[in-house]
Structure 1
Amino acid sequence: MTATADAREADRALKAKHRTMWALGDYPAVATRVVSALGPALVEACAIKDGDRVLDIAAGSGNASIPAALAGGDVVASDLTPELLAVGRGEAEARGAALRWQEADAEALPFEDGAFDTVMSCVGVMFAPHHQAAADELVRVCRPGGTIGLLSWTPEGFIGQMFAVMKPYAPPPPPGTQPPPLWGQEEHVRALLGERVTDVVAHRRKISVDTFSEPEEFREFFKTAYGPTITVYRNIADDPERTAALDAALADLAGGALRDGAIEAEYLLLTARRSG
């Protein structure tokens, strides 16, 4: 087998693992209980209006896609994991939102160049393993003069710190991949997009999550509902001491962040315009 064929096979295997990971647990519950306010915030920042052609990359169950459709956009919600799209279809129907749902890899989108007026992603594309490839695709499918909108957890914020806590217990990342919270650094995103965009506007903001009254409640929810956390725990399932250590570390993280019954999680909201 040639080196190119080996690389393709490795990429297929990696994407299959990602697809499986995000189908674990109950990510739609995370979207509802933890990040429900983020989708509307991104849609507002992108100024989506009637008739805009909108692509939501790594859309999950539609946290941003559905609000974009309700704002009048002609929306395609794309995601690597079909199980999440299936949940999104039901949610969209219940809320009276009309949009299309399509399985797609963020690093190899099945759309024509310049096909969309707005290309956005809400804590989604940040989890694509090859950052430059994903950035190249989101720029490619945005029309000249169109809007790119990205909302990502920062490394310093609560969710970024959760990933830092889990890292020593996780399987080693494949060569050439990059950690998701880098998308929460403005300079990293600017470097990925380069001179292909103008009018970059970036703000760090916080979302207040008042779902969990105790640190252990947060930990147990993420252990059972959030694919990345489930995957990490499965990696150490045969090691009770490491499992207990991770249990304590996640509870300590949440305990240190809980203030008046709420946890604040920082994110980066960045918009830009595709150069002509």
Structure 2
Amino acid sequence: MGDVTGASDIDRAVKAKHRAMWALGDYSAVADQLIPALGRTLVDACGIRPGTRVLDVAAGTGNAAIPAAMAGADVVASDLTPELLDVGRLIAGRLGVELEWREADAEALPFGDGVFDTVMSCVGVMFAPHHQAGADEMLRVCRPGGTIGLLNWTPEGFIGRMFATMKPYAPPPPPGAQPPPLWGVEDHVRALLGERVVAVEARRDTVRVDRFTTPEEFRDYFKKNYGPTIAVYRNIADDPERVAGLDRELAALAREHASPTGAADDGSGMAMDWEYLLLTARRR
């Protein structure tokens, strides 16, 4: 079973910051309004069916865990941030879906070896700072012959480029932390999993986001709702010039990726295609 007793004070401080960051804003809105299809995409790719024992790592508010439960699986949704789990419980309750919600660190999962048929993560484990530790834990709790399923943003895609845009405005990462979008690089994920898996299948795809009518609307939505973006703006809050600079850069990034839709009432509107890597494998 994963053990946090050997964690350093630095590691504990990093995890506390991560927990607080993801509690900012309204991640449930981001997941439900912008990328609701991604959870179902991962569930389908994993072949989840009634009776499957599933662990969703860094589940957030249940974007993948709830569809897995709706497919009849026996699901545990785990996340470092209890505020997200609380929202997930409410969403599941409204839908009449039953699953277990468990506060847990992706790098030290509180579950026994090989107890799940499928261990998955939808744009979740990628944000744990130590990639090998997260991968090792996912493999440890997956039974031999079970399925590992991962859906993560790519570095070249919109969200990966958004993190690159925010990086100069963010505090320096803690020692040993790796960039989240590396989980969207197939060779990186294959190296993390190593020879412990077989039947690896990977493909890049995109999800279309057409909720925003202007690049500025996108930027302001993320400033209000998305924990990592809120945290970066808080880091530069006392420097109006840097705030204005990040404002311009995020709007420019959205403008670069946008295509017109004409979906708004006034005939305006835009759509963006956000790239992700979907990878499944079977534990050897």
- Find the aligned partners of 2:31 and 2:83 in 1 and give their Cα distance: 14
**How far apart, in 2, do the equivalents of 1:258 and 1:32 lie?**
21
Matched, 1:68 2:77: no
Residue 277 (structure 2) aligns with: 268
Corresponding position of 2:216: 216
Equivalent positions of 1:1-276 (< 5 A) are 8-260=8-260, 261-275=270-284
Deviation at 1:34, TM superposition (A): 1.3
> Displacement, 1:33?
1.3
Shift of 1:96: 1.6
For 1:90, give the aligned amino acid: L
Partner of 1:37: helix, strand, or coil? helix
Shift, 1:6, TM fit: 9.7
Give the counterpart letter for 1:124 in structure 2.
Answer: G
Q: Report the 3-state secondary structure (helix = DSSP H, G, I; strand = E; otherwise coil) of the residue aligned with 1:107.
A: coil
After TM superposition, what 4+ stretches of structure 1 lie above 6 angstroms from structure 2? none
Following TM superposition, by how much is the alpha carbon of 1:97 offset from its aligned partner in structure 2, in angstroms?
1.0
Distance in 2 between residues matched to 1:7 and 1:78, nearest whole Å: 19
Distance 2:200 2:142 in 1: 15
Gapped regions of structure 2 (runs ≥ 5): 261-269
Larger deviation: 176-185 or 5-14? 5-14
Tell me the distance in 2 between the aligned counterparts of 1:212 and 1:271. Answer: 31
Give the stretch that moved more between structures: 257-266 or 111-120.
Answer: 257-266
With structure 1 as the length reference, what TM-score do the two structures score? 0.97
Q: 1:273 to 1:7 in 2, by over 3 A?
A: closer
Please state whether the residue corresponding to 1:203 is helix, strand or coil: strand
Alpha-carbon distance in 1 for matches of 2:119, 2:249: 37
| Residue 264 (structure 2) aligns with | none
Instruction: Please report the RMSD computed on the Cα atoms of aligned residues, expressed in angstroms.
Output: 1.0
Structure 2 distance, partners of 1:33, 1:214, is 16
CA pair 7-121 structure 1, distance change in 2 beyond 3 A: closer
Greater alpha carbon shift after TM alignment, 125-134 vs 6-15: 6-15
CA-CA distance at 1:7 after TM superposition: 5.8
Give the Å deviation of 1:258: 1.0
Q: TM-score, normalised by structure 2?
A: 0.94
Distance 1:233 1:134 in 2: 28
- CA displacement, residues 25-54 of structure 1 (integer Å, 9 cap, x when unaligned): 000000011111100000000010110000
Cα deviation code 1:78-114 (max 9, x no counterpart):
0000000000001111112110000000000000000
Please list the CA deviations of residues 252-274 of structure 1 after superposition, one character each: whole Å capped at 9, or x if unmatched.
00011111221100000000000
Structure 1: gaps (5+ residues): none
